[in-house]
Amino acid sequence: MPEHKISLAEAALQIAQDEYPELDISHYKNLLKGWSNSMNAKFSRKRTRNQLEEINQWLFSEMNFTGNMENYYDPRNSFLNDVMDRRTGIPITLSVIYLEMAWASGLSAAGVGFPGHFLVRVIDDVKPIYVDPFHRGNIMTAEECIEFLKEITEGELEFDQKFLSVVNKKEIILRMLRNLKRIYLEMSNFSKLIKILDHLIDITAGEPEEIRDRGIIYYQMKAFKNALNDFETFLSMSPDSEGAEVIQQYLQVLREYDSHLN
């Protein structure tokens, strides 16, 4: 689907449908639209920075959105409906809301896949400025982003200009899914992890590494036939990739096991 036809909010809400099968996506889309209309009716059109300050006032002062620092790895922080209901989330989900509000205000805004901390870029008189919705919409220049990176990585990651590159809506959704992938892996919640991997494989049109990872999880779940299928697919797609030798060993064990069952 072309980028301009993708509804970021709708795609983000679809991620939550595994957790909330009865989720009314249209309700939350309308809620976002209502917030935008109320905000735009209250504030006048001004320069870009003034508009950002108005969005910040609306989201973080009037609506009390905040970054969830106490329970950062709570899976609910990755579900947009939960974030909207509880008014708290992680950088990427808060950025999705911020982007929707910015677009509704006519701003030229895009997501930025900053390492470990998603940001929003807005063009201000041709020059980009960067917004951190996790920290109450803190507005930064590119130079301040460099200092911010030093702070959040304790100086262990050297700045690269590509860190400020914008990402499209599909890449935002992939990052949200990979956040959940890490969380569920850490929790050893394999049943939920499989669903996330299914989405990743679907969206990436069968990226070999995601198929490999799903095979490993199936193996952990003792779903050996599914693991066998995924490992065979992975090796057929990436026979010379890093780690292929280990997967080949998995495959030999599974084939031997499968032969005993037949």
CATH number, position 52: 3.10.620
Q: Can you tell me the distance from the alpha carbon of 89 to that of 125, in angstroms, rounded to the nearest whole number?
A: 30
Q: Can you tell me the distance from the alpha carbon of 127 to that of 174, in angstroms, rounded to the nearest whole number?
A: 28
pLDDT at 261 over 60: no
pLDDT of residue 30: 97
Q: Which residues contact 162 (CB under 8 A, 6 or more apart)?
A: none
Is there a single domain that holds both residue 25 and residue 151?
A: yes
Torsion angle, alpha carbons of 251, 256, 258, 262, to 10: 150
**Tens of pLDDT, residues 99-121:** 999 999 999 999 999 999 999 99
User: How confident is the model over 186-193, as a mean pLDDT?
Assistant: 97
Number of domains in the chain: 2
Is there a single domain that holds both residue 94 and residue 147?
A: yes
Asked whether residue 184 is domain-assigned, the answer is no
Residue 146: band (very low, low, confident or very high) from pLDDT cuts 50, 70, 90: very high
Domain encompassing residue 244:
206-261
pLDDT of residue 259: 64
User: How confident is the model over 212-239, as a mean pLDDT?
Assistant: 95
Asked whether residue 152 is domain-assigned, the answer is yes
Q: Are 215 and 231 in contact (CB under 8 A)?
A: yes
Asked whether residue 84 is domain-assigned, the answer is yes
Burial of 232 (C-beta count, 10 Å sphere; 0-12/13-18/19+): middle
Is there a single domain that holds both residue 153 and residue 251?
A: no
Helix, strand, or coil here: 176?
helix
Is there a single domain that holds both residue 236 and residue 117?
A: no
Is there a single domain that holds both residue 19 and residue 80?
A: yes
Is there a single domain that holds both residue 242 and residue 152?
A: no
Is there a single domain that holds both residue 145 and residue 29?
A: yes
Instruction: Give the end of a domain, one of 167, 198, 219.
Output: 167
Is there a single domain that holds both residue 160 and residue 54?
A: yes
